[in-house]
A and B are shown apart, each in its own frame.
Chain A
Amino acid sequence: MYEILKVEKLADNTLLMDVKAPRVAKYCDPGQFLIVRLDEKGERIPLTICDYDREAGTVTIVFQAVGTSTKKMLSLGVGDAFKDFVGPLGCAAEFVKEDVDNLKNKKFLFVAGGVGCAPVYPQVKWLHERGIQADVIVGARNADMLILEEEMQSVAGNLYIATDDGSAGHHGLVTDVIKKLVTVDGKAYDECIAIGPMIMMKFVALLTKELAIPTIVSMNSIMVDGTGMCGACRLTVGDEIKFACVDGPEFDGHLVDFDEAMKRQQMYKADETKAMLKLKENHVGGCCGGDQ
C-alpha cells in the first residue's frame, strides 16, 4: 500500500496529493508518469509526476476527476492509501539528458492547459534549478480553474495567463498569446513544450509549425499496463506507430496525428461498456449476442 501524506484542493474536482512511494521517487525525472490503482477492483490510471522528494521518498500527483475512477479518488484523504503505485514510466523530458551549458543558450516556451500545469511545473522547476529561465503560458477555463499559479510564478521566467472567459489574464486562447509573443513582441523561442488537452496541443502545434518553433507535446493516451505490453496507447507519429507509454509520452508535436489520437481517446466514452456487460449477465445464453 502507498500512503497518502498530504491532500490539497487546487480547484473544483482537482486535487494534489503527496504519496509515499520511495521506489518511484528515487529515480524519477520530469516528463515521466506513473500508474495508480485505487483498490482491488480499480483501473490502472496513468498520472504525470508533478513533483518528487527523493529524500522523503514522496511523489506529488495532481488529478482532475473526470471518469468513474478519478471521481472515486476525490474521496481519499490523508492516511488513506493507494493499492498500487508504479513508476516512473515513460521517458524523461529530452532536455534532462542534454548538457546544461547547451541548455543555457536555449530559449524555452512552455504552454500548459488545465491540469497540464501539473506536468509542466517540474520541467520548468528543473530548468530553474539549473539557472535557466523559461517562459510559461498557462491556459484555463476561468480564474477558479487556474492551478499551481504561485508555484509556477516562483520558477518561471515570464508567466502569461489566458482564460476562456477573461476572468484572469488574457481573454482567449493560449495560441493568441503565443502569436502575440512571437509576432508582436518579437520574442524568439528555440523550443516549445505544450502539455494539456489534446485539442490544445493540436492547435499549438499547428501554430508553432507556422512559426517554425520545434514543439514537444505529451500524449495522454488511454493506457493499461504502461510498460509496452498491450498497445492500447499506440498513436501515429510521422509514418510510424509509437507506444505512448514507452516511446513517449513526449513526441514531436509537428508529427503527431492528433485527429486519430483524439478519436482513440474517446474509445470508452460513448460506450456504456459496463452497463452492457450487466445486461448480458441477466441474459443467460448469450444466443443473440444481445447487448441491445
Chain B
Amino acid sequence: MSVLKAIPVREQEGKVRATNFEEVCFGYNLEEAMAEAERCINCRNAKCIAGCPVAIDIPAFITEVKEGNIEAAYQTIAKSSALPAICGRVCPQETQCEAVCIRGIKGDSVNIGKLERFVADWALENDIQPEKAETLNGRKVAVVGSGPAGLTCAGDLAKMGYDVTVFEALHELGGVLVYGIPEFRLPKQGVVAKEIEKVSELGVKFETNVVIGKSITIDQLMEDEGFEAVFIGSGAGLPKFMGIPGENANGVFSANEYLTRSNLMRAINADSDTPLITGRKVAVVGGGNVAMDAARTALRLGAQTHIIYRRSEEELPARVEEVHHAKEEGIIFDVLTNPTEILVNDEGWVRGIRCVRMELGEPDDSGRRRPVVVEGSEFDIEVDTVIMSLGTSPNPLIASTTEGLEVNRWECIVASEEAGQTSKEGVFAGGDAVSGAATVILAMEAGRVAAKGIDEYLKKKV
C-alpha cells in the first residue's frame, strides 16, 4: 500500500450499525497501529505537538508504537492527557494535530487520533496505572462537576498530593461523556467508567447527587467544610430553543433531553424505567456534534431522520468523521434550510415542521457567509418528533449563588487564561463553564491549567 495512504480503520458496516448501539469504529490492532506509526517521519520541528491543545509529545509516543513499546507510549501520552481513550475517540483531530501533519500535504495525515486510541485502549485492557503522588499534603480542594475539565483538574491535583473531592449534580460521573455522547461513539462501561476509575485510583473522592448552589454553596464549602480552593467545571448545560411557534408541543425535545434519556437514563434499553419517545419521522435542527449524536440515536431507534441546518454543508460544525458516518447510516441532510414553525395537531402533538430555504450571503462576524431567507420558499416536512440542537450556555445556578463571582454577558464565568483564576479568591474555573460549549480536549486543557494555578495559589497561601 502507498505510504501516502493511512492504514484504514475497521468499522461496523453502515447498514448494520444503523440498527445497533455498539461502537461504530473498531480501532487499530497492534499490527495495524505499528504499520500506521511507520508513516510518521518524526519531524524535528513537529507541528502536531503545537496543534494539540494539551501538547502531547506525539512523535515520541508514535516512535514507541513503531517499536511495539505500547506501555512506554502510554506513559508519554499520560504526561499530557488524563483521558486519552476518550480523546482518541472524540477530539476533532482533523482541525488540530492531524491538520498540520506534514504527511497531509501530499496524501493522508498520520492517523494520530486512532493511534492515541489504540495506545489508551491497550493501557485500559492491561490495567496500566498512571503514577501516583508520593506524599500527600492533606490540603482540601473541591472540584465542581465531573466532566473532562473537572476530572482532569482533580487527577492533576491528586498527583500533586492534594486531598480532592469532586461534587457532581447527577447520579453518574462523567458530565457530557455520559449524558451526551452516545454509546456507539464512546462506550460507557468499557471506556468512560474505566478512565474515571483511574482518576479515583489516584485518590480522588467523588460525591454524586450534590448540586452546588443548591445542596451547598461554594462559600459554604470553603467556610464550613474546610476546602481551601475550589475548581468550577460545571459545563454549559443549559439548552437553547428557537422561540418559534409550536416549540412546546408534545414531541419537541432539546437534544440534551433526548440524549440524557437515551444515554444517562439508558432509555434505549427495554429494562430502563425511563420513557423515551422514539418517533417514526424525526427532524433534528442544528449541525454540530450534538445534532449528529441525536440524529444517529433516533435513526438507531428506527426513525427516518433529517438534519435541518441553515448554512451549507461546508459550515457544519460537527467533526468530519461524524458527518461522514451519519450519511453512511442514512441520515437525510436538509442543509440551507431553516425552521419557522412547528406544526401541531389538535391533541398538541407535532405533525410537521415548516421551513424556508436559505442561501449564503455576505460573510458575518464569524467570517462564515451569512444565511439569508429565499423569499417564497416555504415548505413543510412531515415529522412526528423534533429535536432542537441549537447549542447550550452555562447554567447560572452557581454564578447566582456565589458571592463575587464575575460572569460575562453570555453567563460564562470569567477566568484568567494562564491560571483559571476567577474574580473570587481561591475559586478557579475552566471548561465549557468558562468558554461556552467547546470540546473535550479544551476542557481538559483548562482543567490542567487550573490545577497548576491552584497549586501555585495554595503554595503561596500556606
**A residues touching B (Cβ–Cβ < 8 Å)?**
23-24, 26-27, 37-38, 41-44, 68-69, 72, 83-89, 224-225, 227-232, 234-236, 241, 246, 260, 263-264, 266-268, 271, 273-274, 276-278, 280-281, 283-286, 289-291
- Alpha-carbon gap, A227 to B220, bound state (A): 20
List A contacts of B397 (CB < 8 A).
Answer: 227-228, 246
A267 near B277 (CB under 8 angstroms)?
yes
Within the complex, which residue of B18, B241, B276, B395 is in contact with A227, where a contact is CB–CB below 8 Å? B395
Q: A86-B171, A232-B253 are in contact. Are A286 and B302 (CB under 8 A)?
A: yes
A230 near B256 (CB under 8 angstroms)?
yes
A-B CB contact pairs (8 Å), 23 listed: A23-B209, A23-B210, A27-B214, A27-B215, A44-B265, A224-B265, A227-B169, A227-B214, A227-B397, A228-B238, A228-B397, A229-B239, A230-B254, A230-B256, A231-B241, A232-B257, A234-B241, A241-B243, A260-B248, A274-B275, A280-B302, A289-B303, A289-B304
**B residues touching A (Cβ–Cβ < 8 Å)?**
18-19, 169-171, 179, 208-211, 214-216, 220, 237-239, 241, 243, 247-248, 250, 253-254, 256-257, 260-261, 265-266, 268, 270-278, 280-281, 300-304, 347-348, 395, 397
Q: Identify the closest chain B residue to A266 (Cβ).
A: B250
B239 near A230 (CB under 8 angstroms)?
yes
- Alpha-carbon gap, A66 to B268, bound state (A): 23
- Nearest 6 interchain pairs by C-beta: A263-B348, A230-B257, A86-B209, A229-B237, A286-B302, A231-B254
B18 near A286 (CB under 8 angstroms)?
yes
List B contacts of A281 (CB < 8 A).
Answer: 270
- Alpha-carbon gap, A37 to B273, bound state (A): 10
Among B19, B239, B274, B277: residue with most chain A CB under 10 A = B274
- Alpha-carbon gap, A68 to B243, bound state (A): 34
A87 near B270 (CB under 8 angstroms)?
no
Q: A41-B272, A274-B270, A290-B302 are in contact. Are A229 and B214 (CB under 8 A)?
A: no
Q: Identify the closest chain A residue to B15 (Cβ).
A: A285
A59 to chain B, nearest CB (A): 12
Q: Identify the closest chain B residue to A236 (Cβ).
A: B248
A230 near B248 (CB under 8 angstroms)?
no
List B contacts of A41 (CB < 8 A).
Answer: 266, 271-273
List A contacts of B210 (CB < 8 A).
Answer: 23, 86
List B contacts of A84 (CB < 8 A).
Answer: 171, 208-209
Q: A263-B250, A267-B277, A273-B276 are in contact. Are A224 and B261 (CB under 8 A)?
A: yes
List A contacts of B266 (CB < 8 A).
Answer: 41
- Alpha-carbon gap, A199 to B395, bound state (A): 31
- Alpha-carbon gap, A27 to B401, bound state (A): 13
B250 near A264 (CB under 8 angstroms)?
yes
B259 to chain A, nearest CB (A): 9
B215 near A241 (CB under 8 angstroms)?
no
List A contacts of B241 (CB < 8 A).
Answer: 231, 234, 241
List B contacts of A225 (CB < 8 A).
Answer: 169-170, 260
List B contacts of A69 (CB < 8 A).
Answer: 273
List A contacts of B243 (CB < 8 A).
Answer: 241
List A contacts of B277 (CB < 8 A).
Answer: 267-268, 271, 273
Within the complex, which residue of A27, A37, A263, A289 is in contact with B347, where a contact is CB–CB below 8 Å? A263
Given A224-B265, A229-B256, A280-B278: 17 more A-B contacts, CB < 8 Å: A23-B209, A24-B215, A26-B215, A43-B275, A83-B171, A85-B209, A87-B211, A89-B214, A225-B260, A229-B395, A235-B248, A263-B348, A264-B248, A264-B250, A264-B348, A277-B268, A286-B19
List A contacts of B214 (CB < 8 A).
Answer: 27, 87-89, 227
List A contacts of B261 (CB < 8 A).
Answer: 224
Q: Identify the closest chain A residue to B235 (Cβ).
A: A229
- Alpha-carbon gap, A168 to B303, bound state (A): 52
List B contacts of A271 (CB < 8 A).
Answer: 275, 277
A234 near B248 (CB under 8 angstroms)?
yes
Within the complex, which residue of A89, A231, A278, A284 is in contact with B256, where a contact is CB–CB below 8 Å? A231
Q: Identify the closest chain A residue to B215 (Cβ).
A: A23
A241 to chain B, nearest CB (A): 7
List B contacts of A27 (CB < 8 A).
Answer: 214-216, 220
List A contacts of B270 (CB < 8 A).
Answer: 274, 277-278, 281
